Amino acid sequence: TKLNFSSTVEEERHVRANDRDYNERFSYADNRIKTAKYNVFTFLPINLFEQFQRFANAYFLVLLILQLIPEISSLSWFTTIVPLVLVLAITAVKDATDDYFRHKSDQQVNTRQSQVLIKGILQNEKWMNVRVGDIIKLENNQFVAADLLLLSSSEPYGLCYIETAELDGETNLKVRQALTVTSDLGDDVAKLADFNGEVICEPPNNKLDKFTGTLYWKDNKYPLDNEKMLLRGCVLRNTEWCFGLVIFAGLQTKLMQNCGRMKFKRTSIDKLMNTLVLWIFGFLICMGIILAIGNTIWEQKVGSNFWEYLQWKELTINAVFSGFLTFWSYVIILNTVVPISLYVSVEVLRLGHSYFINWDRRMYYSRKDTPAEARTTTLNEELGQVEFIFSDKTGTLTQNIMVFNKCSINGKTYGDVYDEFGCKVDITEKTPCVDFSFNPLMDRKFRFHDSSLVEAIKLEEPLVQEFFRLLALCHTVMPEERNEGELVYQAPSPDEGALVTAARNFGFVFRSRTPETITLYEMGHAVTYQLLAILDFNNVRKRMSVIVRNPKGQLKLYSKGADTILFDRLDPSNEELMFTTSEHLNEFAGEGLRTLALACKDLDEDVFDEWMKKLLFASTALENREEKLGALYEEIEQGMMLLGATAIEDKLQEGVPETIACLTLANIKIWVLTGDKLETAMNIGYSCNMLRDDMNEVFIISGHTMLEVQQELRLMP
């Protein structure tokens, strides 16, 4: 294929492993980052340009120019240049100090060491010297230097664990898995040095959850997605080592693409001062005009009598021209009404305020010995001008510790406790837990109080078993067996971890997985399922499915997701069960629980074979890959049979209701984003004091478009 190397806009990226000469033809960015605004040469012009956007500074610059004209200046230019230079210098020193710390931070990051495979030898290189196409070795607890394609790791099947807190704030570990063909390279430096695969992928972008590419190696092509990428800013965890191929470096990494361009920020105080200075300047102009008119009238009636005694130039003898010159003279004389010292005062106050923030004991977190830190003195006063707070719910208002609380299976709910009279009993810490001693692989921390569900499992009710089999198979959790029988699950989300742990305690233990198989211990017996396809969850699909072949050779599709999505894809024969389950879901949501619906389907062998051919073609497409895969997933996820629903509890963090009450008293408006059902959202709203009983009316706006929302708002009383 003939490549256009001169194109300035990338349509697709070509990266060849271990071939710097080839990759340099594309002029890809190096791995140096820059967050500082200035350098030695640009500091003066850029900083002066920013400072002269303040009207007072611009005014005094104009004033200085006027004072250099002897016909209108009655004051020395020295009286203006000294305070102006003083103000500019003080602000410049503050800006330079802030930028110095940015340079220091950049230097610290750019000079971090990384092991790079160069000419068949692993060498220590600074991050800034890493190039696209290099193969890098990472070790446990190291930061990822650039956006890498995972090639191999110390874990079985090319797995590795990463922490993405710097990218998305999530502290739970996520799993990444290399292609089987590259995971076989292991840590053999000779094999890695001979690796000459070529990656063709999307151009640099800021989408953290998406990557589309194809690896071409040994006359074969392999689809690449986000699950095979390690992004800059992540930290390698619980993995001794891994190797990765640099795809994006430096400012073209997804982390830096999300940083945006450095903008000159002005606070509301700055804007207010600019407005005040404009009004003061307008007053000054009015005063100058009035005095100039007075001077013109006086010169015509009185001053003309003295012209013959004063050796004036001919031009200045004209009364109108004299008034014109007098106007500018008064602009100079009355310059003290423009408060240039106000800017100095504000800068000093900002500096002092930043120290008060650093010293504030109420902003000190004793558990981690972490004080507040004001990293800039530019925007401090904006903290007191906050009008709106936009917050996520999970992990921000809540603890992000999920607990399996209730479930509905085949139209029957489990999880509530009743006394001998059939009345529901409130569950407390003193309520006896279910005895899971029949299961040697149980999680001892798991608590459940309804013994009827265990009885249903022991009686081998088919739908109850299928329910927990689905929970044990349909997920992306990775098991880690530290000691004999001591299982630890590494889950990309706490929801999945809670559901797999529940299945584990009820006798369906997820024990191990490979890229092709999943092994469960079902009521003590090892059962291995062939994993044929994973239909990923995303924000559009709102569901996840897996296709497996059980030991009997039967093809099964298991799916879990939002009830509103899954119910539309059920077989018509499920209508009555769907109605009952919907009532249970609304009941769970009303208690503030997070809900999911579960469904399954038997697949025909011939239909599946044809579908797999189309899936293989779509998964290697470079254009519209997601849309093509989505259409195929939609095709096979039809006519499913409903199994039931789960309900997970995520408790509020300590102090959330009190904090929100204080913010409300400060007249701060709070918006919380959540993907929960309406009933769950309202329950959480009342729990955290966003919604209160003393509110006269709570309005529910359910429009899906801007026009629908506007119409609903207009119809509100």
Q: What share of the chain is helix, strand, coil (3-state, %, to 5)?
A: 40, 25, 35
The DSSP bridge pattern shows strands 417-418 and 424-425 to be: antiparallel
Three-state SS string over 648-713 comes to: EEEEECCCHHHHHHHHHHCCCEEEEECCCCHHHHHHHHHHCCCCCCCCCCCCCCCCCCHHHHHHHH
| Choice among 194, 392, 435, 604 that is catalytic | 392
Residue 388 backbone dihedrals phi, psi, to 5 degrees: -130, 145
Residue 561 labelled as part of a binding site: no
* Helical axes 55-67 vs 319-333, angle rounded to 10°: 130
Give residues with Cβ within 8 angstroms of 437, minimum separation 6. none
Residue 450 labelled as part of a binding site: no
Residue 393 labelled as part of a binding site: yes
**Rounded distance between C-alpha atoms, residue 83 and residue 67, angstroms:** 14
**Rounded distance between C-alpha atoms, residue 698 and residue 700, angstroms:** 7
Residue 222 backbone dihedrals phi, psi, to 5 degrees: -130, 130
Which ranges in 117-267 belong to alpha helices (H)? Answer: 165-168, 180-183, 189-194, 254-257
Taking the CA atoms of residue 165, residue 167, residue 170 and residue 174 in that order, the dihedral angle to the nearest 10 degrees is -90
The single residue listed with the structure tokens 């927990």 is 468
Residue 594 labelled as part of a binding site: yes
Among residues 121, 114, 120, the alpha carbon closest in space to that of 137 is found at 114
Is 392 a known active-site residue? yes
Residue 392 labelled as part of a binding site: yes
Give, as one character, the DSSP assignment of residue 157.
G
Give me the residues paired with residue 480 across strands: 488
**Rounded distance between C-alpha atoms, residue 360 and residue 383, angstroms:** 14
**Rounded distance between C-alpha atoms, residue 256 and residue 110, angstroms:** 13
Residue 131 in contact with residue 124, Cβ under 8 Å? no
Neighbours of 537 (CB within 10 A): 19
**Rounded distance between C-alpha atoms, residue 376 and residue 347, angstroms:** 12
Residue 675 labelled as part of a binding site: yes
The three-class DSSP label of residue 153 is: strand
Residue 323 in contact with residue 293, Cβ under 8 Å? yes
Residue 455 labelled as part of a binding site: no
Please give the span between the terminal C-alpha atoms of the chain, in angstroms, as a whole number. Answer: 66
Residue 168 labelled as part of a binding site: no
Which amino acid belongs to residue 500? Answer: V
C-alpha pair distances (Å), 7 with each of 4, 215, 246, 250: 6, 22, 21, 20
How remote is the C-alpha of 261 from its chain's centroid?
17
**Rounded distance between C-alpha atoms, residue 141 and residue 415, angstroms:** 40
Residues with catalytic function: 392
Annotated binding site for ATP: 392-394, 496, 537, 560, 594, 674-676
Annotated binding site for Mg(2+): 392, 394
Annotated binding site: 392-394, 496, 537, 560, 594, 674-676
